[in-house]
A and B are shown apart, each in its own frame.
Chain A
Amino acid sequence: MGDLFDKFQPLIDQREALLSTGLTDPFNLVMEAVLSPTVAICNGKRTILLGTYNYMGMTFDPDVIAAGKKALDEYGSGTTGSRVLNGTYAGHKACEEALKDFYAMDHAMVFSTGYQANLGIISTIAGKDDYIVLDIDSHASIYDGCALGNANIVPFRHNDVEALEKRLKRIPEGAGKLVILEGVYSMLGDRAPLKEMVAVSKAAGAMVLVDEAHSMGFIGENGRGVAEDEGIIDDVDFIIGTFSKSVGTVGGFCVSNHPKFEILRLVCRPYVFTASLPPSVVATAATSIRKLMHGAAKRAHLWANSQKLHAGLKALGFTLGTDTPQSAIIAVIMPDLEKGAAMWEALLNEGLYVNLARPPATPGNMTLLRCSLCAEHSGEQVDQILGMFAAAGRATNCIA
Chain B
Amino acid sequence: MTDRNDTATRVMALIEPFNKKGVDVTDTTRFAQDLEWDSLTVLDFVANIEDEYDILITMNQQAEIETVGQLVNAVMALKAA
Contacts and interface: CB of A to CB of B under 8 A. Distances in A.
A170 B55 contact: yes
Given A157-B43, A163-B47, A364-B40, A152 B58 contact: yes
A167 B56 contact: yes
Contacts of B58: 131, 152-154
Please report whether the interface of chain B is mostly helix, strand, loop or mixed according to DSSP. helix
B62 to A, nearest CB: 9
Interface string B38-72: 11100110010011001110111000000000000
B59 A154 contact: yes
What size tier do the contact residues of chain B reach? 10 to 19
Contact of B60 (A153, A157, A360): A153
Interface string A151-192: 011111100000100110011000000000000000000000
Contacts of B43: 136, 155, 157
Contacts of A365: 38, 40
A155 B56 contact: no
Contacts of A154: 56, 58-59
Nearest to B57: A154
B34 to A, nearest CB: 18
A170 B81 CA distance: 12
Given A157-B43, A364-B40, A170 B60 contact: no
A134 to B, nearest CB: 9
A170 B54 contact: yes
Contacts of A312: none
A365 B37 CA distance: 12
Given A154-B58, A155-B59, A157-B43, A170 B50 contact: yes
Contacts of A171: 56
Nearest to B59: A153
Given A157-B43, A163-B47, A363-B40, A170 B56 contact: yes
A303 to B, nearest CB: 32
Interface of B: 38-40, 43-44, 47, 50-51, 54-56, 58-60
